[in-house]
Amino acid sequence: MNPLLQVRALGQQIWLDNLSRALLDSGELARLIADDGIAGVTTNPAIFQKAIAGGGDYEDDLARLRQQPLTAEARYVQLAIPDVQRACDLLRPLHERSHGEAGYVSLEVSPALAHDAKGTVAAGKRLHAEVGRPNLLIKVPGTPAGLLAVEHLIGDGININVTLLFSLAHVDATANAYLRGLERLRAAGGEPRRVMSVASLFLSRVDTLLDARLAAMGGEAPALRGQAALALARLAYRAWRARFHGPAFAPLRAVGARPQYLLWASTGTKNPAYGDLLYVESLIGPETITTLPDATLAALRDHGRVADTLAREADAGAASTLFTRLAALGIDLDKIGEDLQADGLAQFARAFASLLEQTAA
């Protein structure tokens, strides 16, 4: 059996971390959905920058848009929205069959708004209206301002992907923002059952940063390399189950509200010494989502070993022990999370600036 379909049978959705016009025009995305069970698509400024720079698929549309009195950002949005709409339409049958559990496409607000809650709310509402598809997720970074915007957008019934999360503190704050948003929505007479949200926890970047610090410490520290990201995911999942399958969420669940699902992001292995599926095979479990770049998707299809590996209590216990050992070494994982989020925002801002250079007159 196709390993990708085996993963889906265990209750985990696989989303493609890529979108381009070539992927749509060639029929490749439709094939991935039909044959491999791809259940969603994620995008970000870097993905669109690469797509627009990589070939002639956008040249005619860009030439036409340059004749109009639009900003560079408005031109980018006009290029991206048709691709997002087409991807949403390809996934719409799955979205309907699953009653809104799957079949989503993510589109990110401008990175320039990461610390602007009001601007993020306005941008999220605008993109939601312009795309006009029920299976769109507006992607918002999990900064303090971003989470304030998440609360308001969820309260308006808009689906949200909270991105650039790197710590247990980030995941906890994101879940709290989602719950506050659901309560706003319910108080306003809205229907919580119509809202979808995911919390995107980035993995490989955690090990990349922490491994370098552990290597420099000497002693027992280097032996702990390559373990922190998986431990982070397992502890986040344990906390997620306690929160969303516990009594506190029961009243919202009773009116049809969904949990805010954990999504594993940054799943491509950065260190060649590690297996190419390190962040995939070790974190397969129900009610979760994994986003895979093209190379990782191909590797899973080719030689993936599939089993329900996420919820084992022994692994969660080992993860807790690892976090205790890291703390004893003076490593502040919440501080590392803040550093990684700031770096991720800077990377997306650079990609966005490059993208706007391409769409400028």
Indicate the helix (H) or strand (E) that contains 341.
helix 333-359
The pLDDT confidence band at residue 55, using thresholds 50, 70 and 90, is: low
Average pLDDT of the residues of the chain: 96
Separation in Å, CA 43 to CA 73, 80, 87, 90, 248: 16, 10, 11, 16, 33
The per-residue pLDDT for range 94-117, each reduced to its tens digit, is 999 999 999 999 999 999 999 999
* Span 121-145, average pLDDT: 98
Tracing tokens 């994101």 back to the chain, one arrives at 174
pLDDT on residue 56: 84
State the Cα–Cα distance between residues 258 and 306, nearest whole angstrom: 26
Q: Which residues lie below 8 Å from residue 259, measured CB to CB, with a gap of 6+? A: 240, 243, 244, 245, 249, 253, 287
Catalytic residue among 50, 125, 139, 335: 139
Which of helix, strand or coil describes residue 202?
Answer: strand
Q: By mean pLDDT, which of 15-29, 53-67, 171-185, 204-218 is the weakest?
A: 53-67
Per-residue pLDDT for 54 more than 80? no
pLDDT classification of 250: cutoffs 50, 70, 90: very high
Could you give the CA distance from residue 100 to residue 105 in angstroms, rounded to a whole number?
Answer: 12
Q: What is the pLDDT of residues 303-346, one digit of tens each?
A: 999 999 998 877 899 999 999 999 999 999 999 999 999 999 99
pLDDT of residue 1: 86
Q: How far apart are CA 202 and CA 341, in angstroms?
A: 9
pTM of the model: 0.97
User: Does residue 50 have an active-site annotation?
Assistant: no
Cα 281 to Cα 274: distance, rounded to the nearest angstrom = 12
pLDDT at 312: 81
Burial level of 225, CB count in 10 A (0-12/13-18/19+)? middle
Q: pLDDT for 274-291, tens place per residue?
A: 999 999 999 999 999 999
Residue 196 has pLDDT above 70, yes or no: yes
d(CA 278, CA 127): 35
- What domains appear along the chain, each with residue ranges and CATH number? 3-359 (3.20.20.70)
